[in-house]
Amino acid sequence: MDDFTPISEDSRKQDPAIDRIVGGLVDGSIGIMPLFDCDPALYQALCDEARALADAEFGQNVDERHGTYQYVKAQSPEWHIESGLVRQYSLYNSKDDYLYVTDDHHWSVADRHFHRDLKAVPQFFKRYFGQSDLQNFRMQTIAAGGGLGQHKELILGIPKREEHYKLRFHLPIVTNDSVQFIMDDVRYRMAPGTVYIFNQGRMHGVENEEGRLRIHLVWDCYLNRHILMNILKPAVDTRDAA
């Protein structure tokens, strides 16, 4: 297995290093955890690119017609959302279209790539995640008063990739003290410039109660040995040693 081949259920059982990390995601002992701080110059370029996109494009309202809404609702029927206050931009798909979300939740053999106008985002991903296999890469904005209600999503079981582990990562671009993530009734705040692992398999939601617009980069990526050994393991070792 090379560093970028997705790890499967079978390979997890054969490798204690894999089982320790994945086991923590499956049993919930890894929830929201800081991984690393982005290079400051690259982070500034990401901020400039994200803000420019938010200013220039209206984004897609995440409502009952949206693919993300339908995907999450199928797994968490009780899920609710403040319509009109949460917007999403697909940065990685087969159409060079920020509003095209068909590729985001179901594996596609189409030629998916970062939008041709983006420079900092693909540079960031290549620098830290190399040739890792992406399911999606999105920018999500939440206006004041908006939020995502409590729900769960899959770590395993993506159609056509059922045996691979799909992990979620967050990078806050614009945030404020009113933005709070809730995971299993515990509240968290994420710091701008830090990349986090976010356990989407646990009950979670987010609120932006009264602050300015919140902007995050959010991506789902299939676990491989590069991510395991170079990104997740150092963070878990640091956490466990504290």
Which tens digit of pLDDT belongs to each residue from 72-117? 666 667 666 666 788 899 999 999 999 998 888 888 888 999 999 9
Lowest mean pLDDT among 77-81, 86-90, 162-166, 221-225: 77-81
The CB-based long-range contact list for 79-83 (8 Å cut-off, 24+ gap) reads: 79/149, 79/150, 79/151, 80/149, 81/147, 81/148, 81/149, 82/145, 82/146, 82/147
Place 202 in a pLDDT band, splitting at 50, 70 and 90. Answer: confident
Domain spanning 9-18+32-241 has what CATH number? 2.60.120.330
Per-residue pLDDT at 217 exceeds 90: yes
**pLDDT surpasses 90 at 163:** no
Percent of the chain topping pLDDT 70: 89
| For range 211-228, the mean pLDDT | 92
Q: What is the pLDDT of residue 75?
A: 66
User: Looking at residue 79, what is its pLDDT?
Assistant: 63
Supply the pLDDT for residue 72.
65
Mean pLDDT for the stretch of residues 195-222:
88
Q: Which ranges of 161-232 would DSSP assign to H, the alpha helix?
A: 225-227
CA distance readout (Å), 162 to 4, 5, 94, 158, 239: 17, 15, 22, 5, 30
**Span 200-218, average pLDDT:** 84
pLDDT for the residue numbered 186: 86
Average pLDDT, rounded, for the chain: 87
Query: Is pLDDT at 154 greater than 90 in this prediction?
Result: no
Alpha helices in the chain (DSSP H): 9-13, 16-27, 40-56, 67-75, 120-129, 225-227, 233-241
89 membership: H or E segment, kind and range: strand 86-90
Mean pLDDT is lowest, of 69-73, 128-132, 193-197, for: 69-73
